[in-house]
Amino acid sequence: MGKKQLHGSGGWIIADITDEQANNADLGVGKLFIAKVEKLETTKMVKHYCKICDSEFDGPTKIKIEETPNETVSDELVLVERGQYTCYKCDSIISEYRVFGKKE
């Protein structure tokens, strides 16, 4: 797919994403959203912007892992990890992410 801008409540990230990730991130409103992509690899992040400090940065955001609960959310789905993409400069949250897996 290539480099796309993904929006979050606290800014945006430009990342090299697959077609499948782009389809997941598209909510039909003309923008792609970070939270729908699960966890982005830092090596795929090209640039990010923080609304709080009104700054753009080359490279990836910081990633803060909140928890790894392995919490069952349905008969077939488990929440594996929950975390946040945070600003490189001020640590404000750009977006949150969740990683899901199939229940074994």
Q: Which residue has the higher pLDDT, 26 or 73?
A: 26
pLDDT computed for residue 1 by the predictor: 66
Torsion angle of the four alpha carbons 29, 31, 32, 33, in this order, in degrees rounded to the nearest 10: -80
For 16-24, what is the mean pLDDT? 93
Q: Please compute, for residue 93, the number of CA atoms within 13 A of its CA located in the half-sphere on the CB side.
A: 12
Domain ranges in the chain are 2-102
Tens of pLDDT, residue by residue over 87-96, are 989 999 999 9
Tens of pLDDT, residue by residue over 27-86, are 889 899 998 898 999 999 999 999 999 999 999 999 999 887 888 888 889 999 999 999
How deeply is 72 buried, as exposed, middle or buried, from its count of CB atoms within 10 A (0-12, 13-18, 19+)? exposed
